[in-house]
Chain A
Amino acid sequence: MTVLYITQREAVISKAYEAFEITLKQADGSWKKSTIPVQTVNQIVLFGNPRLTGDALMYALELGITVHYLSSFGKYLGSTLPSCSRNGQLRLAQYQCYQDADRCLHLVKTIVAAKITNQYTVLYRRGYRSISLKRYKSELQKQTNLEQVRGIEGTAAREYFACWPTLLGDEWGFRGRYRRPPTDPVNALLSFAYGLLRVQVTAAVHLAGLDPYIGYLHAVTRGQPALVLDLMEEFRPLVADNLVLTVLKNRELKRQDFCDSLGAYQLTEGARKTFLEAFEKKIQDEFQHSVFGYRCTYRRAIELQARLLARHLQEGVPYQPLVLR
């Protein structure tokens, strides 16, 4: 199963029998058609506003394919979702957990501890041993309220990114995480990677029948998809950060692949394509699951975590975030 990414705004995706027909504009102005069997696709991600015909959309929904819309900069705009879980009781359980301060605190600590462990592993595997990150993990357990846990998460994240200049070298000019807007190429790449990860987690949250807007670590405010952001935490270091570091280390992207617009950085068209391919490869990467022992891809792992969170909320099955050793 694959994700079909369309990055060209002139593109047209239509249905031809049991395939998607993709019409792309060529450099010489001509049009080129290609087909991809629908059965091999499980998500479609559209950048800019390529046209998706009604036939193609209906067929996608019928077969359970989610269609995600992103701006040409990669900002998530929304999704067209196939009918999925109708589990009303799960949502009630999700809200009940929200009302229970002790349960919230326990769950949030579990998530933050996993994120910090994974951040530590990212650094460790690249030969950098950050003792202080480990210290935050034990400090976490002593905290008695949500605000304190969020504080530790933030402090740990700043320390984690403070190690990045050493890993990346001076040439990238990375001085820490800046999101709005990304002020250097590395931050632009991180934002793009997190955006792609967010699409995957959003799909998984919908599939599992959870309410994306009621979360525990992230405040339910400003319309942010708090639960999606919660579930993303364990995967940020594993999928996005690892990928960004690898791509830059392998020089798959160079400085000229980013453009500066009055101090705000973004990826050029070609660089986006390169990174999408790398992201797709990463998310299809098989690894041995640290809890269940079987081999699975990151994509499967993301869906699994969403469903396990559902089982935790509805049945009290202990929630264990994905941690790589």
Chain B
Amino acid sequence: MDDFFLPLAYLNAWEYCPRRFYLECVCGEWEDNEYTLMGQHVHRSVQVVGALQESGKRVFQQQWVWSEKLKVGGIIDRVEVHNGQLVPVEYKKGRMGRYLNDHFQLCAAALCLEERTGVTIPYGEIFYHGSRRRQQVYFTADLRQATAKAIASVYQAMNGPVPAPISHQGKCAACSIYNICLPREVRHLQQERQS
């Protein structure tokens, strides 16, 4: 694990479901479904790599960011410069405020940017394709702490066993690796052993 940097996207997966994270990140399992394909689709508009000028605003797209301190890294969809301030922007397919996973991912990207540039970043934005709205996310002390804590627990989990399935019908129904994870079947067989 010496030169391993936890991909920012996996931080998102971890917050969604630890078991999904483990199967994806540690076991290398992957399957597409309509949601993952839609996710790729909404990123089409930010696929141009590099710095560009957009109506007087300087914009970096598909920017590599990383943090030596936190051992995370990845690609942030957009970094915009607003009045001399860096604003990380993530593109998401869904609607606002569903789960906190998007916030952790964005905050981790900001922490990476801060470490690289030495400049404090007060907030970032998430563009939700589902509602066509941008949500501002303030990097409060609480969010920063929670993000760092999440990263630490991910590293711990990676060296542990496969996490048990979660009980969340909505998440499971939307999950592309449901058929690999088999939450319902695994729970059933384990309960049968106990009884």
Contact = CB atoms under 8 A, between A and B. Distances in A.
B185 interface: yes
Given A85-B28, A86-B28, A86-B29, A315 B185 contact: no
Contacts of B180: 85, 307
Contact of B27 (A89, A291, A307, A317): A89
B50 interface: no
Given A307-B179, A311-B182, A292 B28 contact: no
B29 A87 contact: yes
Interface string B10-35: 00000000000001001111100000
B1 interface: no
A42 to B, nearest CB: 13
Given A90-B27, A315-B161, A292 B190 contact: no
B81 interface: no
A89 B27 CA distance: 6
Interface in A69-93: 85-90
Given A315-B161, A315-B162, A318-B190, A88 B28 contact: yes
B82 interface: no
A99 interface: no
A271 interface: no
A308 interface: yes
B182 A308 contact: yes
Interface string B51-65: 000000000000000
B189 A320 contact: yes
Interface size bracket, A side: 10 to 19
A304 interface: yes
A315 to B, nearest CB: 5
Contacts of A314: 27, 162
Contacts, number: 49
B26 A89 contact: yes
B188 interface: yes
A89 B23 CA distance: 10
A88 B30 CA distance: 13
Nearest to B163: A315
Most B CB atoms within 10 A — which of A292, A303, A315? A315
Given A291-B188, A315-B161, A307 B182 contact: yes
B192 interface: yes
Contacts of B179: 303, 307
Contact of A292 (B29, B30, B188, B193): B188
Contacts of A209: 29
B189 A308 contact: yes
B133 interface: no
A193 B11 CA distance: 47
B48 interface: no
B184 interface: yes
B174 interface: no
B186 A87 contact: no
Contacts of B182: 304, 307-308, 311
Contacts of A307: 179-180, 182
Given A291-B188, A311-B182, A314-B27, 17 more contacts: A86-B29, A87-B23, A87-B27, A88-B28, A89-B26, A291-B189, A304-B185, A307-B179, A307-B180, A308-B182, A308-B189, A311-B186, A315-B162, A315-B186, A317-B186, A317-B190, A320-B192
14 contacts: A86-B30, A88-B28, A209-B29, A291-B188, A292-B188, A304-B182, A304-B185, A307-B182, A311-B182, A315-B162, A315-B186, A317-B186, A318-B190, A318-B193
